[in-house]
Amino acid sequence: MTAKPRILLTGAAGRVGTALWQGWEAQDCFDLTLTDRRPIEGARSPSEIGEIGDYAFVEKICADQDVLVHLAYISAANVGQGTLDLTDIGVSMRLFHRAHAAGITKIVLASTNHVTGWNEHLSDPPTFSTADQIMPDGWYGAMKGMAEVAGRNLVNTEDMRFISIRIGSFTGKSEVDSLRLCSTLLTPRDAVQLFGLAVEYNGPEKFFITYGASDNIDGDFRGFLDISAGIEELGYKPQDHIAAERHRFIS
């Protein structure tokens, strides 16, 4: 009997993290360890509560894991204020380094469409956002973009796998209530599928980026976030056809 992959999930108390572990526990597909700074309510899987900025804590949680799914984020509120506190990119780089040292062979990053969020300011409809672009609209997008670059370095120098999923919009619901969400919404069940496929991926590509949205293609229409890498490389088959809802918001 093949052992289930051992997955360390950071940010497990958040909205996306909760959807992932609930879905994966229901499927009984992974051996999960959940971690967050806040309590994680209702999970069967073991959990570790602590700060990912604490190196001793990071060293502890990375031991005996196969894959790191990194959702946690450190707010950028202290940028430019002369503080000695680590920002998100500093915390993420240290976590990635420790993950590699502990024997983790793959990192799946929950990134954001804000890495290319400026595209929404350039034109209407927005400029099509592809994986090769970095056009951040704030420090949040900039730091997630830098984390992707850090992942590229790990792939180049340490022969790890690194998959970045630039999440569009995640509300925790499947309902579309605006025209923008017809391009960007990632529903809970599609998130469980997409991140699960990334965890299990063992194909030829060591590094790639895909946007995280549900089915935002409808005939000649395609949403402004490129989900093709997830479809073509991971075998992602989104179940929720959000693009079909756009007629409700067009007069």
Tokens of 183: 């391009």
Tokens of 50: 């602590």
pLDDT above 90 covers a percentage of the chain that reads 90
Domain 6-249 fold:
Rossmann fold (3.40.50)
Place of tokens 């956002």: 129
The region that residue 45 occupies, defined by phi over 0 for left and psi between -120 and 50 for alpha, beta otherwise, is beta
Which residues have a Cβ under 8 Å from the Cβ of 165 and sit 6 or more positions away? 108, 109, 110, 111, 194, 195, 198, 209, 210, 211, 212, 230
Place of tokens 């409808």: 218
Chain mean position to CA 22: 16
Which residues have a Cβ under 8 Å from the Cβ of 93 and sit 6 or more positions away? 147, 150
pLDDT above 70 covers a percentage of the chain that reads 95
Q: What is the pLDDT of residue 250?
A: 84
Tokens of 182: 């017809």
Average pLDDT of the residues in 66-88: 79
- Cα distance between residue 52 and residue 222, in whole Å: 38
Q: In the chain, what are the helix, strand and coil shares in percent, each to the nearest 5?
A: 40, 20, 45
Q: What is the pLDDT of residue 3?
A: 85
DSSP 8-state assignment for residue 138: S
Rg (CA), the chain: 18
- Cα distance between residue 68 and residue 63, in whole Å: 11
Q: Over the chain, what is the mean pLDDT?
A: 94
Place of tokens 């900025």: 53
Q: What is the pLDDT of residue 251?
A: 66
> For 113-167, how does the pLDDT look when each residue is reduced to its tens digit (9 = 90+)?
999 999 999 999 999 999 999 999 999 999 999 999 999 999 999 989 999 999 9
Cis peptide before 188 (omega within 30 of 0): no
Identify the bridge partners of residue 69 per DSSP, sorted by sequence position: 9, 108
> For 209-241, how does the pLDDT look when each residue is reduced to its tens digit (9 = 90+)?
999 999 999 999 999 999 999 999 999 999 999
What residue spans define the domains of the chain?
6-249
Q: What is the pTM of this model?
A: 0.96
2 — pLDDT class (breaks 50, 70, 90): low
